[in-house]
Amino acid sequence: MKFTCLVFALLLCGCANVDKLLGLGGGGGTPKNAVVSGSYTVVLTSTKANASTNIYVNMVTQTSASFSGTTNTLVCLGNVVSNCVGNDAQVSVALIGTVSGNNVQIIISDTNSQGADTVTLTGTVSNSTISGTYTDSQGDSGTWTATQSSSVAGTLSGSINSTVNPLTIPPTVTAILTSGQNFTLTGTAMIQNWQCFMSLNFSSGVAIGGAFALTDSTNNFVLLGVPTGAKTFNVTYHVSASSPTCAGDHGTGTLTLQ
């Protein structure tokens, strides 16, 4: 008798509600939120200024409905490495985000040539890509796309040259980088045809989205790179004024991931 009543109840409820009636978790409910975490390259394309801005960020999940960017987030106008701000004590970039289902909202606060700026991005997650529209507090607006970035670890080779004292034959660089936990990078570099350094030891470094920053603390040397293609990077370097060698020198270059 009890079995007959159960079958009759199932027929009345319909197939779509069978799991719910049996306590199996079906029947709809609140969808799970998309997971937004990892290394991302975000490209803002302005519909007003006919310009683009690249943002390199490591997203970290805070709760199932929120995430944030790490403190070394880079904002690079026109994807020009010398235009990048962030990843230092002079300019901080704050990124916070929320997610509901596949819908996200991200707020980015930084300082540019026009002063303090707050950018609000809204969009939708689709697999490893997020895209949508944005507005900012300085009157700009446009579209944006965020894609997950691949690892920078491996062998990088290319050349650099000083802006202060450029050489006719630019120094060549071969760097070997290893990735660690929490987006860290370490490695070494061999340099030919340069009176400043023959080698560098990057005891600390970090992958920032698709970009990277490397530091040789002994020689007070910092190398920053942003991607210009799948495996190519434009880089800028700076030697601290307190360095025992080539103090205050700085320059640019190009490296390729082998």
pLDDT at residue 228 is higher than 90: yes
Cα three-residue angle 178-182-185, rounded to 5 degrees? 25
Give me the amino acid identity at 177.
L
In angstroms, the CA 240 to CA 216 distance is 11
E strands in 66-102: 66-69, 74-77, 84-86, 94-100
- Residue 20's pLDDT is what? 42
The torsion of the CA quartet 47, 53, 56, 61, rounded to 10 degrees, works out to -30
Nearest Cα neighbor of 237 from 248, 226, 221 is 221
Average the pLDDT over 42-63 and give the result: 94
Question: Residue 111: its pLDDT value, please?
Answer: 77
Q: What domains can be seen in the chain, in order of their start residue? A: 38-148 (2.40.128.120), 154-257 (2.40.128)
b/e sequence 145-176, b meaning 16+ C-beta within 10 Å: ebbbbeebbeebbbbbbbeeeeeeebbebebb
- Distance, in Å, from the CA atom of 234 to the CA atom of 76, rounded to the nearest integer, reads 12
Of 177, 154, 189, 173, residue with least CA distance to 253: 173
Q: How confident is the model at residue 125 (pLDDT cuts 50, 70, 90)?
A: very high
pLDDT surpassing 80 at residue 123: yes
Query: Quick one: tokens of 74?
Result: 């880079």
Q: Provide the pLDDT for residue 4.
A: 46
Q: What is the pLDDT of residue 89?
A: 54
pLDDT band at residue 225 using 50, 70 and 90 as cut-offs:
very high
Given a cut of 50, whether residue 28 has pLDDT beyond it is: yes
3 state SS of 49: coil
pTM reported for the whole predicted model: 0.85
pLDDT value for 92: 78
